Chain A
């Protein structure tokens, strides 16, 4: 009886209709043959005749564990990028998935596993800056020519430490000042900052706090453990004259709880969320969020990609599209090596990745890298959430 009820719950909870990510791999496998031939012709017309280009690309992310919501979406976007790429080009690129569980020790082991597999040319991931650090040490020692593109690590200066590290999100050095300047422009006089004791969060909070305090704004700095889901006691301490609450958090759903509890306790300060809060889970009307990309649902070209993704996978969030961008950077680099007539290896792929120059990307902005591996044109956008849940670009 209870088990039947469980099945009911499962059915109710599972994403409606379209079917989950699991089935798509099988679906694509069947179509591969046909698209293969057509795309093969396309490349022939493109110039040098290259029919085959073989590569395996690694994916590292927290697929299970506490922040599985990040890794799951990242993995789905990676699979989606791979499937669309293979369909487009007729290649048969393969992937290896590596579940870091957001754990530094796992991350290092997995980095070595990827290095050991000579077929793996480059990787997307890992997600957090800590994981990037521990994996980076392994890559740096094992083969500095192995490229790994993090789709979500934002710590300032980390790209300079590892030769193989690139990233498709701007760093906190872009986001922090953009945020602080915006808050100052809005006439903030008293700001309540809460970090979640993670490396990402404290880094951003420090930058913003510093800049605000230099400008004479009263800052109250608090921090909560990421495990916490009841903020009412903390919300209760927000002073009535507080104009903004800055939440540099990764778990957007927690941000929504914070917002609800502010409403419940009659606090009227406006929430400003970092890019981690840019998610369908956070819908508090009137709040601002920073985002490293314009709303991709509004970017021409990206709309179709997003729609295609949603046809196959149940959900997406802000952590997804940068994975697609990172995967594309790697795929295209490998392709360029193949086109030049060489057999791609790690060094040649890295050289091509460094030379990446995409006029546009899924993120709506051009992608090219600085010498360290940061985005050359890292820029932050600020949105305001409207009553109907949509986002309006305000800066």
Chain B
């Protein structure tokens, strides 16, 4: 897993809010095409990690490199332009815009705008419900539709790395199945994916690697199947 140069290299990352430290000296390498899952108890930094990578939260120490280029203290819009797409927790849709406008907003960057029409068709193919709902105002969508719009919007941006923050949050199981089907297809197409999930069960067979984040530190990392065989870890950190 470590022979090709890592696409994303995180070293000694420390970050937090105000005086409170949330991420404590984290290091992580992500290879191109790898599917990494970040799991762990709530409130321990999973979302913060993604936000620090995408630039919404500034790191107080450490470094983040994308394909060798240091992006640690760059502005979020520069980091997106460099190729990291962050689909945030809670969707954060543009409430007064339609589904279509939200999706097109995903292709705001010039390099994405050039491919917009093409990508839109791809997104509609992956998420047919969105094509039906494209004229609908985002604030009137159901939970599952919002989630799909959020993910679709992220796909419109393109990018080398796709980061998803709890895509199954608050959804009914049948919708979660659909989301994970989509994730499977994205992985199959060779995308590098970083997934934060509390619902660890579905991760184990899918992820190439699972990293357990507790109190701002990685306490364990390895294959999903391995984790299944360590009930004490599951017990302590993931509530069995």
Are the chains A and B members of one assembly?
no
